[in-house]
Structure 1
């Protein structure tokens, strides 16, 4: 009986510590926004480096160009809009908290992927697990794996150019981008904007996005998706998608959990996904060789970890708060 009391007391204490750590990590996410805004003054913030800020700015400018490109310009021989128009729309897009936060998460994913390729020789596209899935005897799995492989390859190429295709945005962010385009004062005629909206919406299909394809693959794998929780076997992209699916977190938060400034979120996410402490430590060391893993993680059951992540309602708000401010 006394052992049970000690275990419960110990578990409650560890849970309280992890809850405090999540709160601290949420504050770090919220602190990223002013660093993006004042990058020259505070470039040393861990979650927002100069490279991340440049990549976010590049993605927003690319989204702006795509929105403008859908507008008919029969009155002009020049298919390109002036830089001042692109910049004005880019500023309008940057004022959307959720859109800016999404771009930030993709930039962090790209930086982490590049580091894993350099430090652990982990191919950013064709991981060992993806090779196995492409060769699967299950036709549905093989076809989905091929589509994910192609989507990940496109993602790597577009990120090298600091671009982000509109079709890769989640549905709510695609809608937000179109609304910002519609409301921005760009000197476009209402008819041209209406035609552009029809074109953009007609071409959009969230299910065909990289994130949509990865979610379908993880779902089809069922219990076999546990293999995707082995970072050096699955690759970062599928690893993050598997964490998001198994813990019901937004994928962007699963990506940010892999950052060195979010160790408690990563540990809790992996525990919530069903990994045992020794397996969690292996994944943790791949991302943070010198990092400190939260003590006695085994005292937290997977359902407790899920409750901590779900109950920490500030987590999603903290991510969206990255978008406060302007580039």
Structure 2
């Protein structure tokens, strides 16, 4: 009986070494994303980029710019217009400055990638990008607080899908640290124009209206938290839908949500396998999820022997952070 145990131990060591190597390769790939996007280079052949992704990221940065310039103009002129009157060069200048911040740029990229993955799952598996079976069950919950939170999440997810189709990025949907980074970029550009700082009233008005908990990602996080141990059900992608799945995977594997989203890309299979194991999924459950996401990738059964805390430790040593790719 000792020999099979030795074989399993040897296989596990080999798989762990392979996962570490693949994760390091994935890290290197991610670190190349921000510089490429920042300069809007030709992207054919880059595994993590496509013309559609680049166009969507550019559209989101320009939409952020128009919102900020409209807030500035409203403060100065008393207008409530939404940026239609802003000179194209002003929009481009601010968008370029936002794109030079790799934290902002990385988050825009992840949103575009999430939308792309959701569209692919809809085509491949008829997975509704807005209303998943699990979200439908939560809306019908006999706990009013959960039902209300699920309804708010549904509305936010619907808005996200529509925004992505328009290549928009509403300021109110930014995570708190991203919101502050965007404010800093805005003020930097205003000073560079030689017109002094952004009007204080415009900044204060935007900050007063901002509520991270009411954003889509905030609502998804609150819903996963409210589910308690039931959040494990959200690790079934086909049942939960990509948005809820990514938030649950991030919470259970203790990593940023943006990292959980990017782990679903085919080039990041090791990151996804480690996240699943860190969340406690066995080999069969991991295999089921890969069949939906990346049917061409085979997961070795011995991965089920990798302790969840060991998988978590390997993930924690990853050099890449999706929203902070080169810092």
TM-score of the aligned structures, taking structure 2 as reference length: 0.92
In the alignment, what sits opposite 1:85? 90
Answer yes or no: is the 8 Å Cα contact 1:39–1:50 preserved in 2. no
In the alignment, what sits opposite 1:264? 270
- Deviation (angstroms), 1:130: 0.8
1:320 pairs with 2:324: yes
* Larger RCO of the pair (alpha carbons < 8 Å, separation 6+): 1
- Deviation (angstroms), 1:10: 3.7
Answer yes or no: is the 8 Å Cα contact 1:267–1:294 preserved in 2. no
1:68 pairs with 2:61: no
- Deviation (angstroms), 1:121: 0.6
For residues 100 and 198 of structure 2, the distance between their equivalents in structure 1, rounded to whole angstroms, comes to: 23
Question: Unmatched 5+ residue regions in structure 2?
Answer: none
Question: Unmatched 5+ residue regions in structure 1?
Answer: none
Answer yes or no: is the 8 Å Cα contact 2:129–2:161 preserved in 1. yes
In the alignment, what sits opposite 1:303? 309
Deviations along 1:175-221, whole A, 9 cap, x unmatched?
Answer: 01001101114647447521211111111111111111111110110
Answer yes or no: is the 8 Å Cα contact 2:12–2:306 preserved in 1. yes
* 2:107 pairs with one of 102, 107, 112: 102
Q: What SS does structure 1 have at the residue aligned with 2:177?
A: helix
For residues 193 and 79 of structure 2, the distance between their equivalents in structure 1, rounded to whole angstroms, comes to: 14
In the alignment, what sits opposite 1:114? 119
1:209 pairs with 2:212: no
> Map of 1:1-327 to 2, 5 A cutoff?
6-37=7-38, 41-71=42-72, 72-74=75-77, 80-185=85-190, 187=193, 189-190=195-196, 192-294=198-300, 296-312=302-318, 314-316=319-321, 320-321=324-325
Answer yes or no: is the 8 Å Cα contact 2:235–2:245 preserved in 1. yes
- Deviation (angstroms), 1:290: 1.6
- Deviation (angstroms), 1:33: 3.0
How many residues align? The count is 321
- Deviation (angstroms), 1:118: 1.0
